[in-house]
Amino acid sequence: MRFILTLVIIIIAVAGAQLYFPWWSMVIACYVIGGLSGMRAWGSFISAFLAVFLLWGGYALYLSQDSTLPMKMASVFNNLDATFGESSTYVLVLATALMGALLGGMASMTGSLGRNMFRSRSPNVEQVESV
Amino acid sequence: MRSFIFTIFLIITIGFTWLLNNQIPNTPLPPLGKVFNPFTGFWQNNNDSDFTIDSLAFKGISEPVQVAYDDRMVPHIFAQNDIDLHFVQGYIIAKHRLFQMDLITRKTSGRLSEIRGESLINIDKKTRRKGMVWAAENTLNAWKKSEEEYPKLQAFVKGINAYISSLQPKDYPIEYKLMDFKPEPWTELKTALFSKEMASTLSAREFDRESTNALSILGREMFDFLYPEYNPKQTPIIPEDVTWDFTNPLSKPVADPKSSLSFAPERPFELEYEGIGSNNWAVSGQKTASGFPILCNDPHLKLTLPSIWFEVQLNSPTQNTYGVALPGMPGIMLGFNENVAWGFTNVGHDVLDWYEIDWAEANKESYFLDGKIIKVDKVIETFHVKGLGTVYDTVKYTVWGPIVQESKGSDSKDLAMKWLPHLAPDINELSTFSKLNKAKNYDDYTNALQHYSSPAQNIAFASKDGDIALKVQGLFPLKNKEQGRFIQDGSKSSSNWKGFIPKEQNPAVKNPKRGFVASANQHSTSPDYPYYYNGSFDDFRGRILNRILSKMDKITPEDMMALQNNTFSIKAEEALPQLIKYVNTADLDETDKVFYNELKTWDYKYTAEGRSAILFEEWYDAFHKNTWDELDPYTEQIGRMPVEDWRTIALLSDQPNHGFFDNATTSPIETAKEIAHQSFKEMSNIVQNLEVDNDGPLNWFEYRKADVTHLTGIPAFSRNNIKAGGCPNSLNAIRGNKTQLGGWGPSWRMVVAFGEGDVEAYGIYPGGQSGNPASPYYDNMIDDWAAGKYYKLHFLKSIEELGEHTLHVNTWTPN
């Protein structure tokens, strides 16, 4: 439950931050929420990864509707269109989603690790160290 | 341990973020996070952005303004005063073409390295050394003195900035995102820079260095033989029966107009533009089916995306005008209103002259002028180079103009550039366009033209009340015979231009007997015009245009469209019969015979899918090369100065036994006959090899390759290999990519027919109204343009009239 809640909060926070601040504000949002959520490091990585994956991928997919631009951009980037043809748009959506997801996941995990650093020794941290 | 792991992950996260937010050095990759994130990255540049406003409140306007977009996204702007009209024109042009405006003016001001880094610093330096910014400043200072026009320019600039300041990073045109820079405020100077970019495109062609070298290496007799100034077969722009009621105030030609310099090793800068042409003409009512005049114009420029032109209708209580505007200049450049229509072609007069500087000291800080020592003015140019920091360059200015390229040696000679567009223009220069936009008759047209300075244009005119006219207009230097054809002596003030030709004595014609006026970049006048001028002139298009127009009768707008798309070449018509008669048919194999027979029946038309044009072009090129091979050893010293085609063809037909046809390296004496045959065999070989590579017969359009290239060269934003006929010598003057990036061709085709009722107008250009590569209006007109189709232009009296063709209406209210 906490996982789902965190995921939703990250989606809202990242979207809110990106509407008003530069794109990298999503890193800070994920970091802060990763720290506050109280989840384990891996848990916070996965929640933010999924959240940003859904948000960036979903939004990019929405914006790609009826637009010729993704195909043109696929060509700009190393002629991806030659390799992937019609599905280039989805390759770009996937690339966008993965890029954001990885970054968000890393930031959230770092936030979680940071929080744990200032706590007394807890099972969470042992888990991480064993990883 | 915990803090160690945390630190590692923190560093990785920050590092990853940093990498995605910056351009990775030494790669063409843009900042990936910035570009890909869907909130501010490229995903935001989908096609919705063409129409995101419905109603806007602005401080810049004083009364409501309505803008209706028609189904090709042409805005029809209806304002209640001229200031508001210019404000909204500025806003709208920026909305659709911001990146183009920004890039062109950055190029002209030598600021490309600010966004592209070190690789472009030398191009920037050369631009500044050519005095482009100086020229723009001189121009703007003159414009500011015009009480009538300056407030409109200010309103135009404010309108552009109202749009720019409304932008969030997510709204930036996609090129800004890919190149990672931001729009900056527009300025009045940028508008002046734009006009200087046009001047640099159109009036900076000269062969002073090559002519000087050729004259000293080949001698006077040979020089005159190879490079005569006037083609006797030419039909000049001003008909030959026009007489001149004035005389040249200069006494007889001076003996030696050139400097002591006999050899100039390097061009100060490469010729950037070659072979640009344009056509315009107007036919009087005596030659049309309707009994009213028709005016046509198709300026030929580099084919780019976005296009150089933006279509717009401007309506206020003082004007109702339709036509095309330049993205960065107020008003309409080429167009029409209810009463008049006008069109431009370029004038080839040479207004760029080089002066050899006689340095007075080794450090080149001062020079001799009439025996006196004069100090140079030093201007320090600053460049903020991306990734490198600030770079400085010192440019020395003389009385003639800037030293564009300074040689290293202390005793070496340098050249100063004197260029007409450097000089301050008439303070009312901008009123040329606002007055043309509002003109009602011939008198208004001549009144509008009097202030026009540069780049000089052949301005054709037609009016509803039946007048047609054409004037070669601009500010022209008054020159001695051959002055400015060669490098001038910069140590004597007597080498200077002798003033300017009074504008009322510029070549002009009104309502000629033949019933039409026409220009296609050929010589302005026959040689009996009292003033000397030299320059670069077209030899074939003007002749075919005059020939066809003189034979036409009961002309309809459709006839005029067909003429603009005509692909007939006089060069082929004159050269091919002379060449083909020399082919020794006994020496032809089967394939040769196929080519030979194909050429025998060719109609000299460069159709898109034909092959004959390729055979002729390859044959002619081989013949030209084999004829002038005697000049090859000098080419390196002289520079690129090929003998003109008309001269080559004249030699072929008039003096086929001339010594130039002999190949000096072989013992028999060749004439045009042997060279023509040998060149045919060479052509046959080349074409056969090309067809093997091509896996089948060639066609002209694929062989010529004309691309409409995005301004940054990005292939995905370009349209390559346009399927259309034509060549530089035909009226449909589409040029391929051979010499430079992208093609050249008719950048706007316009046909305006007056009549009893409303004016009927047609137009098309190879692009689209939107500068956004994702927009359906980005390149939507290219295919129709290539096919020679036209759109009927919606010239409205009111917004409501647009009816079912309305795409969108914006209402603007004062804030």
Confirm whether pTM is higher than 0.90. Answer: yes
pLDDT value at B250 more than 50: yes
Read off the amino acid at residue B200.
S
Rounded average pLDDT over B307-316: 98
The token pair that represents B367 in the structure block: 């020079």
> How sure is the predictor about B307, in pLDDT bands with cuts at 50, 70 and 90?
very high
**Is the Cβ of A78 closer than 8 Å to some Cβ of chain B?**
no
* Count of CB atoms situated within 10 Å of the CB of B60: 20
Rounded average pLDDT over B103-109: 97
**Is the Cβ of A64 closer than 8 Å to some Cβ of chain B?**
yes
pLDDT tens, residue by residue, B488-531? 999 999 899 989 999 999 999 999 999 999 999 999 999 999 99
Nearest to A18 among B21, B39, B47 (CB): B39
Q: Give dist(CA A109, CA B610) in Å, integer.
A: 66
> How sure is the predictor about B249, in pLDDT bands with cuts at 50, 70 and 90?
confident
Burial of B657 (0-12, 13-18, 19+ CB in 10 A): exposed
**Is the Cβ of B716 closer than 8 Å to some Cβ of chain A?**
yes
Q: How high is the pLDDT of residue B692?
A: 94
| Cβ-based neighbours of B814, under 8 Å, separated by 6 or more | B57, B58, B59, B61, B62, B63, B64
> How sure is the predictor about A128, in pLDDT bands with cuts at 50, 70 and 90?
very low
pLDDT value at A126 more than 60: no
pLDDT value at A130 more than 60: no
Rounded average pLDDT over B72-82: 97
Going by C-alpha positions, the residue among B376, B345, B368 that lies closest to residue B259 is B368
pLDDT tens, residue by residue, A88-117? 899 999 999 999 999 999 999 999 888 877
Query: CA-CA-CA-CA torsion for B554, B555, B559, B560, nearest 10 degrees?
Result: 170
> How sure is the predictor about A127, in pLDDT bands with cuts at 50, 70 and 90?
very low
Q: How high is the pLDDT of residue A105?
A: 95
Rounded average pLDDT over B372-381: 96
Q: Domain coordinates of chain A in residue numbers? A: 2-130
pLDDT tens, residue by residue, A23-82? 999 999 999 998 888 888 889 999 999 999 999 999 999 999 888 899 899 888 877 777
ipTM: 0.90
pLDDT tens, residue by residue, B719-776? 999 999 999 999 999 998 765 557 899 999 999 999 999 999 999 999 999 999 999 9
Least confident of B116-120, B131-135, B153-157, B590-594: B116-120
**Under 8 Å between Cβ of B527 and B230:** yes
pLDDT tens, residue by residue, B270-306? 766 565 679 999 999 999 999 999 999 999 999 999 9
Read off the amino acid at residue B220.
R
The partner residues of B321 in beta bridges, in order of sequence, read B314
- Its sign, for the CA torsion B208, B211, B214, B220, is negative
Task: For residue B1, list chain A residues with Cβ-Cβ distance below 8 A.
Answer: 129
Q: Give dist(CA B81, CA B60) in Å, integer.
A: 12
Record: contact A102-B16, CB cut-off 8 A: yes
Burial of B808 (0-12, 13-18, 19+ CB in 10 A): middle
Burial of B246 (0-12, 13-18, 19+ CB in 10 A): exposed
Record: contact B9-A113, CB cut-off 8 A: yes
Residue of B13, B179, B777 to mutate when probing chain A, most A C-beta within 10 A = B13
Q: Could you tell me which residue, B177 or A129, shows the higher pLDDT?
A: B177
pLDDT tens, residue by residue, B545-565? 999 999 999 999 999 999 999
**Is the Cβ of A102 closer than 8 Å to some Cβ of chain B?**
yes
Q: How high is the pLDDT of residue B530?
A: 92
Domains and CATH numbers, chain B: 570-704 (1.10.1400.10)
Residue of A76, A78, A80 to mutate when probing chain B, most B C-beta within 10 A = A76
Record: contact A26-B37, CB cut-off 8 A: yes
**Is the Cβ of B13 closer than 8 Å to some Cβ of chain A?**
yes
Q: How high is the pLDDT of residue B737?
A: 79
**Under 8 Å between Cβ of B234 and B539:** yes
Indicate the helix (H) or strand (E) that contains B357.
Answer: strand B352-357
**Is the Cβ of B10 closer than 8 Å to some Cβ of chain A?**
yes
Tell me the shortest Cα–Cα distance from A16 to chain B, in angstroms.
10
Task: For residue A63, list chain B residues with Cβ-Cβ distance below 8 A.
Answer: 38, 43-44, 46
Task: For residue B3, list chain A residues with Cβ-Cβ distance below 8 A.
Answer: 117
The token pair that represents A88 in the structure block: 């280039």
pLDDT tens, residue by residue, B667-722? 888 899 999 999 999 999 999 999 999 999 999 999 999 999 999 989 899 999 99
pLDDT value at B476 more than 70: yes
**Under 8 Å between Cβ of B164 and B98:** yes
| Cβ-based neighbours of A74, under 8 Å, separated by 6 or more | A80, A81, A84, A88, A89, A91, A92
pLDDT value at A131 more than 50: no
Task: For residue B44, list chain A residues with Cβ-Cβ distance below 8 A.
Answer: 63
> How sure is the predictor about B337, in pLDDT bands with cuts at 50, 70 and 90?
very high
